[in-house]
Amino acid sequence: MDKKFAVLPCNGLDKAAGSLTREIAMRLVEETGSEIICPVFYRVVDARYNKLAEENPLLVIDGCGTRCASKLAGEKGLKIAGKININEEAKKNNVEIGASLRLGENELHLCDLVLKDILKEEEKEIKGEENVAGAVPENLEYEKFTKDKFIFRIPKEGFYYNENDCWAYVVGNKARIGVTDFVQKSLSDIMFFTPPAMGSEIEQFGEAGSIESGKAVFEIISPVSGMITAINEELLDFPEYINDNPYEKGWIAELKLTDFESDKELLIGFDEYFEIVKRKVDEFHV
C-alpha cells in the first residue's frame, strides 16, 4: 500500500534541483495522496501545516547543500521521518543535472529513481522504527595490541573513526555507531547509558547520547550526520554490554545518513586510528 506523506520541498525554484524537488513532491501527491507543505506560506501561517506534519510522516526534500527545507523543519520543531537531498541523489545515481529549469531526460530519470526509492521504503523505516541495515557483521577481524594487562581491539575493515574514539559502520545510506575499546577500558565498568532521542537529527560531531562509569561521563560524538532510526535498547538495562564488546553487542544507535560523502572527509580509517590509540594509551595509563 502506498504511504501518504506530508512533503516539505525546497523552495529554490530558480535552480534545476529546486524544480526537481517540486516535481517529486507533485508525483507523490498524484501517486500516494500525499500533501505538500508550501515552504513560503508555512513561514507565515503554520497552524494547518503543523497539523498535517503531526498526522503524517514528514518527508523533507532538499535541493542542495543549503538544506533550506530541513532548516525550516528544524525551526518549526517538526519531527522528520525521511530526508532526501537531490544533489546527493544525483551523485549516487550518476545522473548529471542540467542548468535549465525545465526538466530534461536526465532530470526526469532521476525523478523516477528517487520516487521508486521513496515508495519501496519499509513502513517501519519511515516511522523511525528499528532498521538493522547498518548492523555490524559477526566474526569481525580485529587488530590487537597490549598495554600492561589490557588488550585493545580495533576492527580492521569497514569502520570509520573520529578522534573522539567513536566509530561508524556504514551500509548504503544507513550507519551504526558506537564507541571504541579505548573508551570502555578508560571508563572501566560502565553503569549508565543515556541514548539519543529517536527521530532526532544529529550533525557530524554532534552529541549522540552518553555513557557513565564511576570514573566519568563520556559524551558520544557521532562520526556521521543523520536521523536516529534505532537505539540499542538493551543497553538501558545492560550498559555493561559496552564493556563486553563495544563494536557488536554494545553498539549505540543507528542513523539514516544525510551527507556521508561530506562526512567522510573528516573521518579516519583503521591505519590512522590504530596509531592514534597506541599514542593515547602511552600518554594516558588506563
CATH at residue 270: 2.40.50.100
Average pLDDT, the chain: 87
**Co-location of 89 and 190 in the same domain:** no
At 21, the amino acid letter reads T
Please enumerate in sequence order all residues whose Cβ is within 8 A of that of 253, keeping only pairs 6 or more positions apart, or say none. Answer: 176, 177, 195, 196, 208, 209, 228, 230, 231, 232
**Co-location of 75 and 102 in the same domain:** yes
Does residue 167 register a pLDDT over 90? yes
User: For 75-117, how does the pLDDT look when each residue is reduced to its tens digit (9 = 90+)?
Assistant: 888 877 788 889 889 988 899 999 898 999 999 999 999 998 8
**Co-location of 70 and 10 in the same domain:** yes
**Co-location of 152 and 278 in the same domain:** yes
> Within a domain: residue 96?
yes
Written as nine digits, the cell of 240 is 555493561
Averaged over 173-188, what is the pLDDT? 94
Does residue 243 register a pLDDT over 50? yes
Which of 126, 151, 174 terminates a domain? The answer is: 126
Which of 126, 160, 182 terminates a domain? The answer is: 126
> Within a domain: residue 172?
yes
Does residue 6 register a pLDDT over 50? yes
Does residue 128 register a pLDDT over 50? no
105 by Cβ neighbours in 10 Å (0-12 / 13-18 / 19+) ranks as exposed
> Within a domain: residue 133?
no
Averaged over 155-177, what is the pLDDT? 93
> Within a domain: residue 206?
yes
> Within a domain: residue 171?
yes
**Co-location of 121 and 146 in the same domain:** no
Q: What is the Cα 53 distance to its own chain's centre?
A: 21
Does residue 135 register a pLDDT over 80? no
> Within a domain: residue 137?
no
Which of 94, 126, 158 terminates a domain? The answer is: 126
Q: 153 - beta bridge partners?
A: 144
**Co-location of 76 and 184 in the same domain:** no
**Co-location of 167 and 109 in the same domain:** no
pTM over 0.75: no
**What is the total count of domains within the chain?**
2
**Co-location of 98 and 221 in the same domain:** no
**Co-location of 103 and 226 in the same domain:** no
**Co-location of 269 and 153 in the same domain:** yes
State residue 285's pLDDT score. 57
> Within a domain: residue 135?
no
State residue 121's pLDDT score. 59
Which pLDDT band, with edges at 50, 70 and 90, does 241 fall under?
Answer: very high
Separation between Cα atoms, residue 20 and residue 23, nearest integer Å? 5
**Co-location of 152 and 269 in the same domain:** yes
Domain of 86, in residue numbers: 6-126
> Within a domain: residue 250?
yes
At 178, the amino acid letter reads G
Which pLDDT band, with edges at 50, 70 and 90, does 2 fall under?
Answer: low
**Co-location of 54 and 97 in the same domain:** yes
Averaged over 140-167, what is the pLDDT? 90
Does residue 131 register a pLDDT over 70? no
Residue 277's nearest CA partner among 141, 150, 136 is 150
